Amino acid sequence: MKILVTGGLGFIGSHTVVELQNEGFEVVIIDDLSNASEDVIQGIVNITGKKPLFEKIDLREKAAVKDFFKKYNDVAGVIHFAASKAVGESVENPLLYYENNISSLVYLLQELKEKPEASFIFSSSCTVYGQAEKMPITEDAPVQAAMSPYGNTKQIGEEIINDTAKVTNISAILLRYFNPVGAHPSAEIGELPLGVPQNLVPFITQTGMGLRQELSVFGNDYPTPDGTAVRDYIHVVDLAKAHVIALQRLLNKKNVQKVETFNLGTGTGSSVLEVIHSFEKVSDKKLPYIIKPRREGDITEAYANTDKANNVLGWKAQLTLDEAMSSAWEWEQKVRNK
Ligand SMILES: NC(=O)c1ccc[n+]([C@@H]2O[C@H](COP(=O)([O-])OP(=O)(O)OC[C@H]3O[C@@H](n4cnc5c(N)ncnc54)[C@H](O)[C@@H]3O)[C@@H](O)[C@H]2O)c1
């Protein structure tokens, strides 16, 4: 069965391609290489022994998307990762985000609605909850006004899919990720941000390598046990496996609604200092960091209630924060020592 993975050379996409191939799916990747390298294909081959098909396409090009579905008319399902994801950049350049994250989604759905049936998995985010009132966060917690154009593209994306599924043969699962971290245990693939990392874990591992002088911890006066902000860090391999399970649910018509939504997290919150200490433990290195004032727009805490994913999908995160930090560290060292 052939599955299209858009953004399949990116961080979460590449790990998902590995899990799909391990489960016997044939994968075709679309990626425009705007935030990934073609070398990732070799990493996937080294892990799975199988080379995914690859088409270098910019999904903002409607005609190219149409041509793709003419060429690959046997695609049974789509996992849509391709998007721009830097929150700060989205504030500076909102139209880039609305164009990339919304047009690409619309063009894909326009092609899928022509098929007798279609299964669609969408990368959403816990940013849709903003600072939720109750922890842990359940899927029925209210969606709050987005704090950035990036966050807004996830909310609008969910609405577009809901509206489209009502009147087409498209069934969809919206996966709201908490904080994906780590790398494949083989260190063949991992997160490789361009420029200064936006996320905590690559910033930590780059600081560990000496590429960054020190890590800034924004705020130690939050109402949390140690005063630093709390998030739910989920190992990317666990996250990737959830995509395969969600896809199988749609392909096997086990879904009970046209559009279903699941939180993907561990269910446990970890503070910034806990993440730093986990890194120090697994790397046996002291991490230089300084405490800075809170950053505008940062929330205090967010961690998932994972009951729905556990009970309905039959998926549960297996890997620990230490395993995630250790794999991220292995990957960073391998990349830098090449
Ligand atoms: N990483 C996170 O913290 C996180 C959290 C929540 C949600 N998400 C969402 O998950 C998805 C994947 O995230 P990621 O961390 O793997 O990001 P990533 O940047 O590593 O992967 C995205 C991939 O999509 C490609 N891409 C972007 N625009 C494209 C276009 N127009 N046409 C074709 N390819 C294009 C990029 O080259 C990249 O390889 C994104 O939708 C992101 O918004 C990520």
Residue at 193 is within a domain: no
Together in a domain, 20 and 164: yes
The proportion of the chain whose per-residue pLDDT surpasses 90, expressed as a percent, equals 97
Residue at 127 is within a domain: yes
Residue among 150, 222, 233, 303 flagged as catalytic = 150
- Asked if 265 and 313 count as a contact pair (C-beta separation under 8 A), the reply is no
Domain count, the chain: 2
- Checking if the pLDDT of 279 tops 80, the result is yes
Q: Which residues, judged by CB distance below 6 Å to any ligand atom, belong to the binding site of ligand 1?
A: 7, 9-13, 30-36, 58-60, 81-85, 100, 104, 123, 125, 177, 179-180, 199
Together in a domain, 299 and 241: no
- Asked if 4 and 72 count as a contact pair (C-beta separation under 8 A), the reply is yes
Together in a domain, 164 and 227: no
Together in a domain, 206 and 110: no
Residue at 312 is within a domain: no
CATH of the domain at 95: 3.40.50.720
At 8-40, the pLDDT tens digits run: 999 999 999 999 999 999 999 999 999 999 999
Q: Are strands 2-6 and 118-125 parallel, antiparallel or unpaired?
A: unpaired
Mutation to probe ligand 1, out of 65, 81, 160, 192 (largest number of atoms < 8 A from CB) = 81
The confidence band for 173, taking pLDDT boundaries of 50, 70 and 90, is very high
Report d(CA 221, CA 229) in Å as an integer.
9
Q: How far is CA 212 from CA 60, 100, 110, 206, 287, in A?
A: 34, 30, 44, 6, 11
Domain that holds residue 112: 2-182+234-264
At 208-225, the pLDDT tens digits run: 999 999 999 999 999 999
Together in a domain, 14 and 137: yes
Together in a domain, 110 and 220: no
Residue at 191 is within a domain: no
Count other Cβ atoms within 10 Å, centred on residue 222: 19
Residue at 189 is within a domain: no
Residue at 57 is within a domain: yes
Residue at 102 is within a domain: yes
Mention every residue, 6+ apart, whose C-beta is less than 8 A from residue 167: none
Residue at 78 is within a domain: yes
- 303 given a catalytic annotation: no
